[in-house]
Amino acid sequence: MMKRQLFGFVLLVFVFRGYASADAMPQQPAPQVDHAQHPAGAAADGPPLALSAAIDEALANNPTLVALRREFDVARQRPAQERSLAAPTFEAQIWQWPLDTINPLNANMYMFTVRQDVPGPGKRALRAAVLEKDVERASNDIAVRARDVIDQVKHAFTQLFVARQAVVIHQAGVDLSRQIANLTTAKYVAGREGQRDVLEAVLEISKLHGDLITFDEQTQLAAAQLNILLNRDPAAPIGELSVPSDSGPLPPLEDLQRRALERHPELRGVRIEEERAEAALAIANREYKPDFMFGGGYQLMPRTAGAWTASVGMTWPSAPWSRGALDAKKAEAVAEIQAARAREQTVANAIRLSVQQAYVRAASAAARASLLQTTAIPQSQQVLEVSRVAYQSDRGDIVGLVEQQHGLLEMQLDYHRALADVAEARADLEYAVGDALPTASTFALGDK
């Protein structure tokens, strides 16, 4: 009896001292982890961050978007260049310069001329129209990339939320496992239980701490990814999170499909390419018209009266030796239009499919979260309580009790994963539609 009491006392000391540090660390309780060297472990000390604020910060500071905006500023300067005429040419000539002198003043005639090339009517406007389409394309590239950044922020945000919720849930699991271990140890000391059951309870605590190490790693990686998307230092602290919860029924699928085909930036980009190709075809057709050259000058002859000069010229685009290049340029523009139209249909089909898939995923995730919250978790809690009472009254075994506790933890974690799946699926649906869905209420990290 003395040995049994001594063994029980040692186990009690092991349980209370080996894991007491968990109570002092609300975010990362695993004693094997040095939280002073892990920024994610002290994440709650940072400023709170809402998903909408994270998206706004990413749109303002993401380096890729900043670079695309600078490229857009470059493209905006090009159409005006095509609307302007080319610089005039000034020329001076010396005629009849005798071979027996190097003095240019001994020449018999000097010619001063100016020349201006003028493109055919409408050519400058058409060329500027092509560059304006390039400006639209650069603007649309920003919209496309912004959607990518928003989608990445939403996914990183929800991944960080799930990892933190897993820590919170497993902390509660450690507390519950400690209570079970205390109960088992007390029963062992009283001679109502064997050493195997006591060790089984303590082993479950160790497993939970092992899981906490894994979730600590996931928390740090998700926080670093989110910080990079926001153009922050990877180790910057992130405080309490709030993410959109399930916002109820989704709009009808047909409406989402229609909105996607009307507003999707990628589809808009293909249409801009088609319009640009049409503008290029208009230029190719106009190139068959001639360009003009105008010139004038003054002819100076020493000891005689000078004379004005004038010249005019035009190109011959349809010359047999040059027409082939114009024909090929026109054929190229026609082929570009056909290729753009083919791409438009391909992109439209891909958008329809992505909307359909995201819609199904969002609806399924919402249904799964509702089932876990309203049915599975309450039932699992009841079963765990019944198992605990049965074990306390010697009508159950430790293995069943531990399994029920583990099952409850998994269901609670699955519930928060389902909430994250809802948020990610809706993010994917917004990405597929190319427009925001109705806003949702929020739930904060730590809400149970």
Q: Which of 391, 404, 402, 401 is nearest to 188 (CA)?
A: 391
Domain residue extents for the chain: 2-444
- Report the mean per-residue pLDDT for the chain: 78
pLDDT for residue 117: 92
pLDDT for residue 379: 80
Instruction: Note the pLDDT tens digit of each residue in 103-125.
Output: 888 888 888 999 999 998 988 99
pLDDT for residue 383: 75
DSSP state of 237: -
Instruction: Note the pLDDT tens digit of each residue in 335-371.
Output: 999 998 888 888 888 888 988 888 888 888 888 888 8
pLDDT for residue 314: 92
Question: Cα separations (Å) of 257 from 1, 66, 250, 337, 426?
Answer: 75, 31, 13, 25, 14
247-256 per-residue burial string, b: 16 or more CB within 10 A, e: under 16: eeebeeeeeb
Q: Give the integer Cα–Cα distance in Å for 181 and 176.
A: 9
Tell me how far the alpha carbon of residue 198 is from its chain's centroid. 49
Give 138 or 433, the one with higher predicted confidence.
Answer: 138
Question: Beta-carbon neighbour count of residue 400 at 10 Å?
Answer: 13
Query: Strand order of the sheet with strand 442-444?
Result: 49-50, 241-244, 442-444
Q: What is the mean pLDDT of residues 163-184?
A: 74
User: Into which CATH architecture does domain 2-444 fall?
Assistant: Up-down Bundle (1.20)
Instruction: Note the pLDDT tens digit of each residue in 280-289.
Output: 999 999 989 9
pLDDT for residue 247: 58
Give 70 or 447, the one with higher predicted confidence.
Answer: 70
Q: Give the integer Cα–Cα distance in Å for 175 and 168.
A: 11
CA quadruple 412, 413, 418, 423: dihedral, nearest 10: 120
Position 10 pLDDT exceeds 50: no
